[in-house]
Amino acid sequence: MAVELILVPEVQRDIDEAYSWYEERRTGLGEEFLSCMEACIQAIIRTPEI
C-alpha cells in the first residue's frame, strides 16, 4: 500500500527556518538537518503505523 505524506505549508516553513538556523551555525549543518528530515519522512512513509 503506497502512502503519501503531505506537508502543510506551515511545516515546510518550519523546515526552511530550521535549515537556515542550522546553516548560520555551521555551513553544511543545514544539509545534514535536511538529510535527517528526509530519512524520518521516508521512515514514516514506509511504516506509517509507528
Q: Per the domain annotation, does 41 fall within a domain?
A: yes
Q: Per the domain annotation, does 1 fall within a domain?
A: no
Rounded-to-integer distance, Cα 48 and Cα 3, Å: 8
- pLDDT for 18 equals 98
Angle of helix 29-46 versus helix 9-25 axis, rounded to 10: 140
- pLDDT for 3 equals 78
DSSP state of 46: H
- Residue 28 backbone zone (phi > 0: left; psi -120 to 50: alpha; other: beta): left
Domain count, the chain: 1
The tens-digit pLDDT sequence of the chain (50 residues) is 677 889 999 999 999 999 999 999 999 999 999 999 999 999 999 998 88
- pLDDT for 40 equals 95
What range does the domain containing 32 cover? 9-46
- pLDDT for 4 equals 86
Q: Per the domain annotation, does 37 fall within a domain?
A: yes
Q: Per the domain annotation, does 40 fall within a domain?
A: yes
Q: Per the domain annotation, does 4 fall within a domain?
A: no
Q: Per the domain annotation, does 2 fall within a domain?
A: no
- pLDDT for 50 equals 83
